[in-house]
Amino acid sequence: MTAADDTRRDSLAPLTAGVGQASLRDQNLSVVTTLAFAAAEPVSRAAIAAASGLTRSTVSRLVDELLAGGVLRELPPQIVGRGRPATPLTPARGTLAGLGLEVSPRYLGARLVDLSGAVLAELVVPEHLEGSDPAQVLGRLGHLARDLLDASAGRWSALVGARLAVPGLVDSGGRVLRAPNLGWREVEPGGYLALGAPLVVGNEADLAALAHALEAPGRPAGSRTFYYVSADIGIGGSSVVDGVPVCGRHGWAGEIGHTLVDPAGPRCTCGATGCLEQYAGRDALLAAAGLDADSPVRALVDAARAAGPARDAVERAGRALGVALANVVNLLDVDDVVLGGQFISLLPLLRHSLEGELHRRVLASPWLDVAIRPGLAGEPALTGSAYAALGDVVAAPSAWLPVA
């Protein structure tokens, strides 16, 4: 080795060591934050040290940083057994916030959530957005979001980011390739939404599924592996494995609404024929039931309780949904299915025909009990979008801490 090589090695050594130390700190901060947020009950420094393998002094130092940065907060000390009182730690409230946004064929929405999972503010504005102009719609959404942030400014300290949920194909760069029920094609929402914080665009069903996989940012829900079906005018789906939506190589997985139910069926907005949406989508259901296109789901539920076209429409939708979900179960080996949107209210009426198709078509049905359960009401994609933004803080809190 030459003298020049020695000089180069020595000049790089301090830089390499410094990067390593910073990386280790960041990793340890992430470990501490993940454990504190995932705990079902407030957790102490000692419990985090025991679970992480870090020393108590290291955990205490890291926790102090997280407290100063508004990521964690302390509760009053508690005496548990013998020894010194323990100070429970829990996600901070009213400090860092995530903004969930959604464009639906039926509404524009914004929901602001803090690290504890509390909703700080929300606005949902009903609109008919089928065949809409993306520039106008996203412009209105931007105004709505800024109004929400301005009106709630005293309830949070920093906006960490925003997620936009759109019912369609979204590529890794945040471009909406196609949203058939909005009539959008190759739209880049980031150019229309200047919110002063990072914006990520995602599929509506994936983000709604995340709201079912988490009880709050970073805190797992009881069921972590399931298939979620989002139902409105369109129908989307998301396969969640160990709490993470599986989006596929290009991010386009889950388009169950455009899977084939009947090759000779009606033409869909996507251009194909016989798609699930044409049997179980909201517009298709209301039309088959003989109800006005603006009728609420409750009117369909009430009409379907008696024999007639509404009941026939719901039973047909159940059979079509059963056919599509049987394919999902056969392909993915999933035994927990969560139905969202209009299917929440319709589930008691369509369960019989849906489960009948599952029993007939699922190869493992003699040995597999597929649970069909209702999902969360109230625009879950807005909540999931906010959780996703806040998930960046849980995964990498160092970016939000004061500079040492």
Q: Which domains does the chain have, with CATH numbers?
A: 19-91 (1.10.10.10), 96-219+381-400 (3.30.420.40), 226-377 (3.30.420.40)
pLDDT digits over 256-294, tens only?
A: 999 999 999 999 988 999 999 999 999 999 999 999 989
pLDDT attached to residue 17? 42
pLDDT reading at 331 higher than 50:
yes
Q: What is the pTM of this model?
A: 0.90
Would you place residue 251 in the very low, low, confident or very high pLDDT band (cuts 50, 70, 90)?
confident
**Which pLDDT belongs to residue 307?**
95
Q: Is the pLDDT of residue 309 over 60?
A: yes
pLDDT above 90: residue 8: no
Mean pLDDT of the chain: 91
List of residues 6+ apart from 152 with CB closer than 8 A: 112, 120, 121
pLDDT, residue 403, reads: 74
Percentage of residues of the chain with pLDDT beyond 70: 93
Position 264 scores a pLDDT of: 93
Q: 82 or 100: which carries more pLDDT confidence?
A: 100
124-131: average pLDDT: 94
Q: Is the pLDDT of residue 5 over 70?
A: no
Mean pLDDT of 96-116: 97
Q: What would the pLDDT profile of 358-387 be if each residue is shown by its tens digit?
A: 999 999 999 999 999 999 999 999 999 999
